[in-house]
Structure 1
């Protein structure tokens, strides 16, 4: 049974005393009726050290770099239109294969060339992040991003992080003014 989360809520990735080992992180969104067409939203994952820094540029997994070197984080590919029901993009995570230096993985969505196209998240509805146990196919958690992200071009939806050798999830819901390439500069 899935649990709906609120912004800032933190939950364990241990289910029935068993840690979840493989996750599908699904991210989805819809264009509102007033929104312009030709939006290209891109899901991403950033693997961070305990100092909230990337060890290398390969710690960013997105449409241009689909696989982390450890193969523990794999983006399933770019959806250029966002059309359809359910997840618009997915990222697979094997928690048992994540390198020791990675203490946190931030998941988000960024609008491709948002500033050049004068686009922002104010035209989006029904945005969400959800975590699914890959083995059982059961949705564990879902966070519906209900905040108004007008003027923001990137949304940090959630993060998984290590705490006392256990993986946990935090529903973030943070809008950013930086596009993806600018955002990664913050984590270097």
Structure 2
């Protein structure tokens, strides 16, 4: 059973999963906007485009690489984005970032996951927005964030995966922010490294 993550919580991914994790998926899901109006009249609301990103940092806290909708694969190939969903249409995860922990280069100390509303809506306006970490080998959810409960912010620094004593651990940062892309969150991310 997955942990509903709270801000500042630290967990061992292996202990929560019950196995040594070799590949994880960060899944992001939200509901598409339903058209409004009386008997079909009155138009529709603009689409909601949430974006999942993963930034790779070295031991000194410098960004080495980033995986997001404009770069779907890390230079080393260990982190891959499945593609940009611009509406939230469909069931299950709308965007995924797959991390092969066994292939993350030794010089990478931490991976930071963020979620941004590229279209600018705040999380209180977005139905059923969730972010989760899944064990890719068995599909079991390890941890989950409810983004819709966050209120009037349009970005979140979700979590940091980091190496500690040859094990991957996760720090649930859960810090809200504002920005259409992860670049705008960098001043908020660096104190967590």
TM category (shorter chain) comes to 0.7 to 0.9
Partner of 1:111: 117
Deviation at 1:113, TM superposition (A): 5.0
**Which residue of structure 1 lines up, in the alignment, with residue 39 of structure 2?**
none
Aligned residue runs from structure 1 range 26-41, under 5 A? 26-30=27-31, 36-41=45-50
Distance 1:182 1:149 in 2: 21
**1:129 touches 1:158 (CA, 8 Å); kept in 2?**
no
Distance in 2, Cα, partners of 1:155 & 1:17: 27
SS at match of 1:96: coil
Number of equivalenced pairs: 180
**Secondary structure, aligned partner of 1:106:** strand
TM-score under structure 1 normalisation?
0.82
Structure with the higher strand share, 1 or 2: 1
Distance 1:159 1:128, change over 3 A: farther
- Residue 46 of structure 1 pairs with residue 46 of structure 2: no
Aligned to 1:86: 92
CA RMSD, 1 decimal:
2.6
Name structure 2 gaps, 5 residues minimum: 37-43
The gaps in structure 1 that reach 5 residues or longer are: none
Quote the residue 1:157 is aligned against. Answer: 158
By how many angstroms is 1:76 displaced? 0.4
Cα deviation for residue 183 of structure 1 reads 2.3
Equivalent-residue separation in structure 2 for 1:17 and 1:31 (angstroms): 34
Moved more, 177-186 or 60-69: 177-186
Match of 1:95 in 2: 101
Counterpart in 1 of 2:12? Answer: 12
Q: 1:4 to 1:85 in 2, by over 3 A?
A: same
| TM-fit CA distance, 1:17 | 6.8
1:109-136 deviations in Å (ceiling 9; x for gaps): 112253xxxx333312332221111112
Q: Distance in 1 between matches of 2:143 and 2:182?
A: 29
What's the CA shift for 1:177?
2.1
